[in-house]
Each structure stands twice: as C-alpha cells, then as structure tokens.
Amino acid sequence: MYNLSKKITEKELNDFIDNCLHWCEHLFGTAKDKEVPYVEWDWKSTWYQKRNLLAVYDREDNEIYIRIQGHRTIYNLANTIIHEYIHYLQPSSGGWYERYDKKWGYDKNPYEIEAKLLGDLYAVECTLSSLHHMGKR
C-alpha cells in the first residue's frame, strides 16, 4: 500500500484521504468561515497533467482536487493533502496570494513556501497516523 498504483482500492484511497484530512483538522484547526474542504480525486486527469499539477485548492468551491498519478507513494499524497489544506487555512481576502504570485512567482510566493514547508515537515507523521487509523501500520 505504500506505493501508489492501481493495486490500491478506491476505498483504501478514500479512507487514507479522509484520515489525512481529519489529521490536518486536528493539528492545524479549521478556517473560521469554512467547513473542512471536500476532496475530489482522479487517477489521471489530463487537465492537471497538461498543467503539470498534482493538486489544487479551489477557494470558491472549498474543494481540493487531486490527481493521484504523479504521486509515487502515499507519503507524497499526504504531503499534497497537507499542502492544499494549508492553502484552505490561508487568508483569501485582499488577493494576497495573487499579489505575491505576480510579484515573486510561484516558488517564492510566501503562501506556497508555507504550504510546501508544512507538507514536507508533517508528511510522515500524517501518513503513519492515517495508516494506523486504517489498521495498516
């Protein structure tokens, strides 16, 4: 189960994603004005592939969209879920994400730096906790 492939069932994938979201909610809390985001995933979205994206947080719909293909392991997937969850928590008023992106670009955008740092920092802990709750550890 540690490698992501077609061998993982949809139920296992859904359970893992749900557990990761609960883990994020417990550690990071929730946004004041929004429910925990809904996650929608696809194995191989060509729209995301063409744009070289693994996931996106849609502020308007409060949804995280994930392309599973491109994630080699569930650790990578947990990292992505944490990353997008951090975007859910970041303030959206004032258009700061867009301002930073325009001024410094994606890689130097403080919102992206924060999301990447926390994803990298907590991916293993989130994965182990999620697997434990699934009885897979």
pLDDT of 3 reads 66
How far apart CA 99 and CA 60 sit, in angstroms, is: 18
Domains of the chain plus CATH, in order, are 10-131 (3.30.2010)
The pTM (predicted TM-score) of the whole model is 0.91
Tokens of 79: 């990292």
pLDDT of 51 reads 84
Burial classification of residue 97, based on how many CB atoms lie within 10 Å of its CB (0-12 exposed, 13-18 middle, 19 or more buried): middle
pLDDT of 136 reads 67
Other C-beta atoms closer than 10 Å to the C-beta of 16 total 24
| Residues facing residue 58 across a β-bridge | 63
Express each pLDDT in 76-116 by its tens digit. 999 999 999 999 999 887 788 888 888 998 889 999 999 99
CB 67 within 8 A of CB 53: yes
